[in-house]
Structure 1
Amino acid sequence: MNHLFGWRWLASLTFMLLYFDIDVLCASQPTVQSETRQVKGVVGQSLSFPERVNKSGNLLHGDLGSIANVYPGKEGKITLEKRFENRIHLNSVTRYFTLSDLKIDDAGVYTVEDTDGGGKNKFELTVYNVVSKPQVTGCDSSSCRAVCSVDNEKEVTLTSYRGEEILNQTSSPDLTTDLSLYLEVEGKNYNSTYSCVAANPISNETVPVPKCCSKDGHPNDADSDERGRGILIIAVICVSVALGMVGLAIYLKKRRNGQPKDSSQKVQVDIVYATITPKKQADNQEERTGVPELDSLRDKPKLTSVYDTLQSHRMAASGDVDTA
């Protein structure tokens, strides 16, 4: 009886150990398959999910479920979700699903499912824009300082260098503001090269920073020459304008002064009013004819007032009438 009990106990122990080993193996297997790998893409370019689909399989995306699938016997034939229409295909050589013409909102978790026993593999896709080229502005010769700036995008950093040495670095989660760094050239390191680098996880852009001043802190000769040319041009323009104004003033003054002496101009006339008394003709005085003013008086003997226009060339005939 005791012998039979011992065998039962040994069998129970063996079964428990075997169950524990199987349970451990089964529990560890999903852990490997559920690991999510990070992949990065560039807007407008293509990305392949690095997991093979041998004969049949599916590509799933977030809450949308299956967005593409391959059936046995129909290699390369896939059914597309409308949002991804004409953008997903299966590479016939690598057997990878490829997503083309990437967009920012394509980011998310994708699952490649090999239905022939390959299991499921998850990939988290992040899509980036190509980083912009930094701009160098405010090159101040008095302080030997410049400003580097760049458009801020997802995970963009802006770094200033002296040679290979990092001088400063900045980044910001606020994508509505640009990134900027001040860079000052030191006299003791004047012969070094300076640069600004904008970078994100998929691209980078580098621009050299010019030396705005000389080693002793004075403006560069080239800058001085350019500034001198600018001042000279401004001075020439100012002198030309001043001479033009003076010439115009002289011309107008001469025109005003010379106007009365110009014989071609109309002689100025004055209107005068006078009471006249015709002189009685003497017996021995010959009657003058041909004078329009006297002829009109003969026709109107009772006329005592005359309005006339006096001009300088007619003053010689004034002796014929008495304006007293």
Structure 2
Amino acid sequence: MSNTQVVWTFGAKNPNARIANLKEREVTTDYDERFKNRLMLYSQTGALTITQLRASDSGVYMYQSIGANIISRQFYLTVYSPLHSLSISVNQCLINRSCSSLTLECFVENSRDLTLSWYRGRDILKKTSSPDLSTKLSLALEIDSKDGGGYSCVAENPVEEKVVRLHAKDTCQDRETSSWCKAEIMVRLVFLAVFGLALIVLVVDYIRLRRCSRLGS
């Protein structure tokens, strides 16, 4: 390739920025700060290697071999960030329904082409996505605590998938180990105790008033 010049260009949509050049066996790869110290251009073949890939490296790359003839080829590259860990939180346990309904919410850091979904078994129940990569992605799901486990939250993009599962012990079905159900039972007991005490006070006041009215007559 001694008499051939090789030029590599790049752009998010149009490859109009030069990033590497090979001419008379001299390699230059310092055109663009975004690729500083991450490009390797092989003088024997004109092949380009990008190290330490980043999501911002996604776009269109063009190879041009300029000699007796001009040969051009375009390459489309999409780089996906590693998926972050998922988390599930219990938002509420409806006391007036005997803790029969739980609202769950699944969270994950958003990234390119990410979809967040709720499944029960293999059946998809809900899903969401957002082009705003600066915020967390979340998806809420209301379930009946008697359903127990079988629910899972899945984050996926075209190259990776992460799953977190909801177990029976995480629902109100297991009243011995479920902290929010224990809290509900405690609230109910306190409410009944206060109600009972108020009822006793009313009965005592009623009896006292009856006695006073009799003595007065």
What range describes the TM-score normalised by the shorter chain of this pair? 0.5 to 0.7
Name the structure 2 match of 1:138.
90
Give 1:219 deviation, angstroms.
4.5
Name the structure 1 match of 2:160.
203
Q: Deviations over 1:18-68 (max 9, x none)?
A: xxxxxxxxxxxxxxxxxxxxxxxxxxxxxxxxxxxxx75221124754321
Distance (whole Å) between structure 1 residues aligned to residue 180 and residue 104 of structure 2: 20
Describe how 1:132-211 pairs up with structure 2 within 5 A.
132-138=84-90, 140=92, 142=99, 143-186=101-144, 189-190=147-148, 193-211=150-168
Match of 2:10 among 47, 61, 80: 61
Counterpart of 1:144 in 2: which secondary structure? strand
Task: Quickly say closer, same or farther: Cα 1:94–1:221, change in 2 above 3 A.
Answer: farther
Matched, 1:223 2:178: yes
Of the two, which has the highest radius of gyration? 1
Distance (whole Å) between structure 1 residues aligned to residue 44 and residue 146 of structure 2: 58
Task: Quickly say closer, same or farther: Cα 1:85–1:146, change in 2 above 3 A.
Answer: closer
State the TM-score, normalizing by the size of structure 2: 0.61
Native 8 Å contact 1:154 1:200 kept in 2: yes
Letter in 2 for 1:135: S
Matched, 1:101 2:58: no
Native 8 Å contact 2:6 2:46 kept in 1: no
Instruction: Give me the identity figure in percent.
Output: 33
Name the structure 1 match of 2:73.
121
Distance (whole Å) between structure 1 residues aligned to residue 143 and residue 45 of structure 2: 52
Distance (whole Å) between structure 2 residues aligned to residue 172 and residue 106 of structure 1: 21
Native 8 Å contact 2:175 2:181 kept in 1: no
Task: Quickly say closer, same or farther: Cα 1:177–1:65, change in 2 above 3 A.
Answer: closer
Counterpart of 2:178 in 1: which secondary structure? helix
State the TM-score, normalizing by the size of structure 1: 0.43
Q: Deviations over 1:45-102 (max 9, x none)?
A: xxxxxxxxxx752211247543212345x3xx52111523321113589863112223
Distance (whole Å) between structure 2 residues aligned to residue 65 and residue 148 of structure 1: 41
Letter in 2 for 1:86: N
Give 1:103 deviation, angstroms.
3.6
Describe how 1:218-297 pairs up with structure 2 within 5 A.
218-223=173-178, 227=182
Native 8 Å contact 2:90 2:102 kept in 1: no
Native 8 Å contact 1:130 1:202 kept in 2: no
Aligned residues: 168
Native 8 Å contact 1:90 1:97 kept in 2: yes
Describe how 1:12-91 pairs up with structure 2 within 5 A.
56-62=5-11, 65-71=17-23, 74=25, 78-80=27-29, 81-83=31-33, 84-90=35-41
Give 1:112 deviation, angstroms.
1.0
Native 8 Å contact 1:154 1:173 kept in 2: yes
Distance (whole Å) between structure 2 residues aligned to residue 130 and residue 110 of structure 1: 23
Distance (whole Å) between structure 1 residues aligned to residue 44 and residue 103 of structure 2: 55
Letter in 2 for 1:60: T
Unaligned runs of 5+ in 2: 94-98, 187-217
Counterpart of 1:221 in 2: which secondary structure? coil
